[in-house]
Amino acid sequence: MALKLRRRVDPPPGCPMAACMSLLGGVWTPEIIWNLSEGPRRFSELRRAMPAISAKVLSARLKDLQSRGVLSRTVMATTPPSVEYALTDLGEELVPAIRAIVAVGSKLHGRLAAEAADRAA
C-alpha cells in the first residue's frame, strides 16, 4: 500500500510570519540587529563586532534594512563625516524575537553537547 502524499501548506498571501521570517532569514540580519540592540553604532564599530562580514556585504545589508524601515542612518556633522546606524521602533520590536531564538539555540546547543558527551562515554 502506497503512502498518501500530504498536501503542502503554503502561508497565505501577505502572511505576517512569512514577512518577518523573510527579513530575519537574511544573511547577517539577526547579527546586525543584535549589535544595534544596545544602541547606535558607526559602520566601523559594526565591522569590528562582526569580523567575518565583508564591508561590501555589511553595506548592502544596512541599506536593505534601512529601506525596510528596521534601522535609521544618521550622517554626523564631523570632519570627515561619519555615519551612525540605530534601530527604529520597528527594529526594536525584533530584538525580543531574536533574544527568544538565542534562548532556544542555547538550550539546543546544551542538549547536543550532552548527547555528544553521552555517546563519547
**100: containing domain:** 27-120
Is 72 in contact with 36 (CB distance < 8 Å)?
no
The CATH number of residue 111's host domain is: 1.10.10.10
Domain-embedded: residue 16 = no
Domain-embedded: residue 57 = yes
Q: State how many domains the chain has.
A: 1
Q: Which residue(s) pair with 55 in the sheet?
A: none
> pLDDT by residue (tens digit) across 32-64?
999 999 999 999 999 999 999 999 999 999 999
Domain-embedded: residue 17 = no
Instruction: For residues 61 and 41, give the distance between their C-alpha atoms in angstroms, rounded to a whole number.
Output: 15
- Name the residue with higher pLDDT: 85 or 120: 85
Residue with cell 566601523: 44
Domain-embedded: residue 21 = no
Q: Which residue(s) pair with 82 in the sheet?
A: 76
> pLDDT by residue (tens digit) across 12-30?
777 888 888 888 888 899 9
